[in-house]
Structure 1
Amino acid sequence: MKMNAKNRESIISAANTLRWELGENFHDDIMESIYKEAGKISRKTVAVDGTGSDFSLDRKIDKIVTSPILGFPIMFILLSIVFWLTIQGANVPSAMLASLLVDTIHPILKGFAATIGMPWWLDGVLIDGVYLAMAWVISVMLPPMAIFFPLFTLLEDFGYLPRVAFNMDKLFQRAGAHGKQALSLCMGFGCNAAGVVSTRVIDSPRERLIAIITNNFSLCKGRWPTQILIATIFIGGAVPAHLAGMFSAGAV
């Protein structure tokens, strides 16, 4: 049966009207109803003889880490510990890599280039340009990432990161986003590329796009030194010297 233009337009109009009547949380409502129905079926059909110690412990931990009172302080403390270990722990290996790649190997390469009579422009491009940039990137970015991502993985393996998403869900919903975006933002502090990839755990395409766009506001380890330098020049110079570091870090 052929459909004329009038019927087609009426169907499209009705579909658009119904689409907006469903609301933005339609997907979440469906998932919530599925879990509620599954819980009802489980309570009617599954008999539990007592409570196991593991299950009881898990529920007690959930009540603590997702508590409205204790949940956020615990989250801030744990994430602060992760960032502190990342920053402090990366100082020594970063200094060692910089000493090896920049202070030791770079002069050797410069001497080798002078020995073989390499043109100055080629020496500048290959050694002072390509090699030196790569050496600084490795010495600055590799140690923090090698510390941050394993620590973040441990939090995920222990099941704490889903609790963080649960705690942050209401706050992010007020901004039209999803609580899982907190995970991608935290991942962005290690590397924005990894943070963008981690947004795949967000089901809604709209909320996933928001997470991808806003992930740029997480300062990854590669941009952190540059932005600290810029803040020190433009903001740190406008305050007393003993407060320059604090104001510069706060601005970033």
Structure 2
Amino acid sequence: MAINTDQLLDSARRLRAEVGDNIHDRLTASIYAEAEQIASRAVTQSGQRSRFDFDRTLDRILTSKTWGFPAMFVLLMGVFWLTIAGANIPSQMLSTLLLDWGYAWLHQLAATLNAPAWLSGLLIDGVYMATAWVIAVMLPPMAIFFPLFTLLEDFGYLPRVAFNLDRLFHRAGAHGKQALTMVMGYGCNAAGVVATRIIESPRERLIAIITNNFSICNGRWPTLILMGTIFIGAAAPPFLASFVAAGSVVAVALLGVVVTLLVSAFLSRTWLKGETSTFSLELPPYRPPRVWQT
């Protein structure tokens, strides 16, 4: 295709007028400003009082050998408690709407239409009741848990979890990047398995693939929350029910981490022996969670 030189030159002149004559100066100034900002955060001069750095201050707590794991436990406990406590009211409302009113109304409609008993039993007692139970019981926890988990990811906390677990995976004879794939597995096991391609060693990649199943994917979270609420939380006093239920779910999640480490250590010392690779992780800066995009 032939290029019209006149049109190309006209476009260049128009763009030149839009960006202004000092475009090179502005580009250079922006580069130096960015470099100065990076240097001011990374370099401390003698006799100068160090500036407050939000990322470093928070990392001293969240990635600390002393406070890193307790902070992780508290955050997970808070997420599950908000999920369980916050899902009670919408679950009750949906149960009343779908199971009490909707079920009775559909039976009245079937009786008015003289529907056969086998048809009303199949559609109302079978299909409708099963769907209504799933919506009333599992939809509210999912609608609360997944946005909270996404907010933690947007904030930049999940890479800190992988950083805290790196030392444990190294002792288990696995690659440190397995911590990243395991954390991704808590959102989706399929994504966690696909993410194991970032592990260069075939041996360590296979360990990560095998053990990713012990991460609780998003399809199992609502079931665990439901079971923790019904069987564990119901056995506690009413004012502690939500905390006990949340604690039981956190215990299951931590059990998955422990089993992952144990199986990884077993595989790396038996059938999948080999030298452990080194791992370097760049922690991203903390960012405000994108609430409205979640």
TM-score range, shorter chain: 0.5 to 0.7
Match of 2:179 in 1: 179
Matched residue SS, 1:118: coil
Match of 1:88 in 2: 85
CA distance in 1, matches of 2:79, 2:96: 26
Match of 1:50 in 2: 40
TM-score relative to the length of structure 2 = 0.55
CA distance in 1, matches of 2:122, 2:224: 23
Aligned runs of 1:73-84 on 2, under 5 Å? Answer: 73-84=70-81
Match of 2:153 in 1: 156
Match of 2:195 in 1: 201
Q: What is the letter of the counterpart of residue 87 of structure 1?
A: I
Percent identity, aligned pairs only?
45
Displacement, 1:76? 0.8
CA distance in 2, matches of 1:175, 1:228: 37
Are 2:41 and 2:53, in contact at CA under 8 Å, matched by a contact in 1? yes
Matched residue SS, 1:51: helix
TM-score relative to the length of structure 1 = 0.63
Displacement, 1:120? 1.2
Aligned runs of 1:58-207 on 2, under 5 Å? Answer: 58-173=55-170, 174=172, 176=174, 178-184=178-184, 186-187=186-187, 194-202=188-196, 203-204=198-199, 205-207=205-207
Q: CA RMSD in A?
A: 3.6
Are 1:168 and 1:182, in contact at CA under 8 Å, matched by a contact in 2? no
Are 1:165 and 1:179, in contact at CA under 8 Å, matched by a contact in 2? yes
Are 1:90 and 1:147, in contact at CA under 8 Å, matched by a contact in 2? yes
Q: What is the letter of the counterpart of residue 140 of structure 1?
A: V
Cα deviation 1:107-128 (Å, max 9, x = unaligned): 1111111111111111111111
CA distance in 1, matches of 2:51, 2:144: 30
Match of 2:215 in 1: 215
Count residues with an aligned counterpart.
191
Give 5+ residue unaligned stretches, structure 2: 1-34, 43-49, 200-204, 253-294
Displacement, 1:56? 3.2
Displacement, 1:228? 7.0
Comparing both structures, which one devotes a greater share of its residues to helix? Answer: 1
Bigger relative contact order (CA 8 A; separation at least 6): 2
CA distance in 2, matches of 1:207, 1:55: 41
Are 1:170 and 1:179, in contact at CA under 8 Å, matched by a contact in 2? no
